[in-house]
Structure 1
């Protein structure tokens, strides 16, 4: 498998021709922050895609940048700047996994789905570790927990509540074996103090509620009036902050235009500029001065 090589220039690509190969559910608050950031200062880093040719023209598969792509779409844009790389579906999947591993606040389930997807596609644990930069022990341990549906233990490992090796021992033991695993981890210094208490609480939850995490589907329907009002007020305050920044930038630009106009009207200053071969002005600035009704002569 060959590695993807980035393109030398950025292309503007229609959003409706981009397919998200490895989609994820985004935290709504974080997503709105991305939207606001792009709306305020623009897109700092283009998305990355790979091109595929179909009968009705070129289409693109997303390699990385789902949040940025969806933010652009949310803002009503029809095109998005992108780096086009040469990569097949396997490369795209690996690149997406690597980006997810590198993300500061990634969800455990996302990482598991990526590793599980590579395993289902025929990759060995050694290959997954080599391609993603994760250790073999981590990949192997995660795969074992995932095969047994140990979502609670996996979340605890990602939160660093318990070590991965201890989680594997717990997953493969009966009740007595679990207590021995906790005792051994305590003697080795792997679980002490608050971590030991958290581990015992986790074991109790696992025993009474099962291995898997239950995701509530009723959260959105239980929003209180106070929560909605708080969200509305926060949104209004963000918009007011944007307006304040915009007004401040407008005032500063007007000040700059006025200063340029006065300097341009100063014969001594323009004479110095001409002596230094700096007597010309960018066309955009000249046009801006002209729109203020102040004549400009090149």
Structure 2
């Protein structure tokens, strides 16, 4: 009997326990847990409840990491508290335990709030069970319902306060900039956090609310479209060649005319009197090639 909980600790066969709410965990922290259990043993039993559909089986309430560590160490049984919970209460207890331990990715914890809301729990009840503020819970639920994955990630990372994230989610482009400006003036976003928030807003405007943008598949290129593209490219090049040849012909005509004009001494004298005795070197070289 455990003096702390008043619950009986039983040794349960590991292969009889089902993880109903599986979670991934950082490899390094899991390896540290395995090493700790191997060195000093299990400090706290896991918690399970009887599976009502399979009388001989158990559903895991909390302690997935410890269970997986025992399995990895080759153990056949594990100490466990056996509690009497229906499937819904068991899942809620698992989610609340995740909040208390804070061992999971923050974004998973935020979505757990949404999962509790979907199961019919009121915001006040979620606040009580998780220990989070009512403003935080309400804001997270609002962001989840609007599909604001980018903003949720920024809240989880501590870049944008949840209240500002809600303002951004509900605002148009001008309102978003006003929200950032107000946050700056209230000293809620400064320095690197402000720059990160601006980058987030830009990416959200460009790629949408989701973290992964679903790009449209490019149409397949047929042989006919390739031939058509080649013909169009060839025609463009022919037009460029024709324009170049026409320009060259006009330039030759102009230089020839200028050359004849400059051979007229009377015209040259008039030009000198009018202060037009010089010309650009590029033009002079073309009219009188080879002259230094």
> TM bucket by the smaller chain?
0.5 to 0.7
Judging changes above 3 Å, is the alpha-carbon distance between structure 1 residues 102 and 53 closer, same or farther for their aligned structure 2 residues? Answer: closer
> 2: CA distance between counterparts of 1:110 and 1:92?
18
> 2: CA distance between counterparts of 1:196 and 1:7?
50
Give the equivalent residue in structure 2 for 1:106: 104
Judging changes above 3 Å, is the alpha-carbon distance between structure 1 residues 210 and 103 closer, same or farther for their aligned structure 2 residues? Answer: farther
- Return 85-94 or 114-123, whichever deviates more: 85-94
Give the equivalent residue in structure 2 for 1:134: 132
For these two proteins, the number of residue pairs brought into alignment is 210
> Could you tell me how far 1:108 is from its partner in structure 2?
2.5
> 1: CA distance between counterparts of 2:78 and 2:20?
17
Could you list the per-position Cα deviations for residues 173-226 of structure 1 after superposition, in whole angstroms to 9, with x for gaps in the alignment?
1211110110111112211222211211221222233322249xxxxxxxxxxx
> Could you tell me how far 1:105 is from its partner in structure 2?
4.2
> 2: CA distance between counterparts of 1:10 and 1:123?
31
> Could you tell me how far 1:89 is from its partner in structure 2?
2.1
> Could you tell me how far 1:131 is from its partner in structure 2?
2.4
The answer for unaligned runs of 5 or more in structure 2 is: 214-292
Secondary structure of residue in 2 paired with 1:76: coil
Contact persistence 2:111–2:144 (CA under 8 A): no
Residue 115 (structure 1) aligned with residue 113 (structure 2) = yes
Give the equivalent residue in structure 2 for 1:14: 13
Residue 145 (structure 1) aligned with residue 143 (structure 2) = yes
> 1: CA distance between counterparts of 2:102 and 2:130?
16
Judging changes above 3 Å, is the alpha-carbon distance between structure 1 residues 35 and 104 closer, same or farther for their aligned structure 2 residues? Answer: same
Judging changes above 3 Å, is the alpha-carbon distance between structure 1 residues 81 and 75 closer, same or farther for their aligned structure 2 residues? Answer: same
Give the equivalent residue in structure 2 for 1:51: 50
Residue 72 (structure 1) aligned with residue 70 (structure 2) = yes
> Could you tell me how far 1:77 is from its partner in structure 2?
1.6
Secondary structure of residue in 1 paired with 2:57: strand
Contact persistence 1:6–1:83 (CA under 8 A): no
> 2: CA distance between counterparts of 1:36 and 1:61?
25
> 2: CA distance between counterparts of 1:112 and 1:161?
15
Residue 176 (structure 1) aligned with residue 174 (structure 2) = yes
CA RMSD, Structure 1 to Structure 2 (Å): 2.1
Give the equivalent residue in structure 2 for 1:232: none
> 2: CA distance between counterparts of 1:109 and 1:160?
11
Could you list the per-position Cα deviations for residues 28-57 of structure 1 after superposition, in whole angstroms to 9, with x for gaps in the alignment?
2222222222122211111111123556x4
> Could you tell me how far 1:118 is from its partner in structure 2?
1.4
Give the equivalent residue in structure 1 for 2:82: 84
The answer for unaligned runs of 5 or more in structure 1 is: 216-298
TM-score (norm 1): 0.65
Task: Tell which structure's C-alpha radius of gyration is larger.
Answer: 2
TM-score (norm 2): 0.66
Contact persistence 2:139–2:162 (CA under 8 A): yes
Residue 191 (structure 1) aligned with residue 189 (structure 2) = yes
> 2: CA distance between counterparts of 1:93 and 1:53?
14
> 2: CA distance between counterparts of 1:165 and 1:126?
18
> 2: CA distance between counterparts of 1:9 and 1:204?
55
Contact persistence 1:15–1:79 (CA under 8 A): yes
Give the equivalent residue in structure 1 for 2:246: none
Could you list the per-position Cα deviations for residues 206-261 of structure 1 after superposition, in whole angstroms to 9, with x for gaps in the alignment?
2233322249xxxxxxxxxxxxxxxxxxxxxxxxxxxxxxxxxxxxxxxxxxxxxx
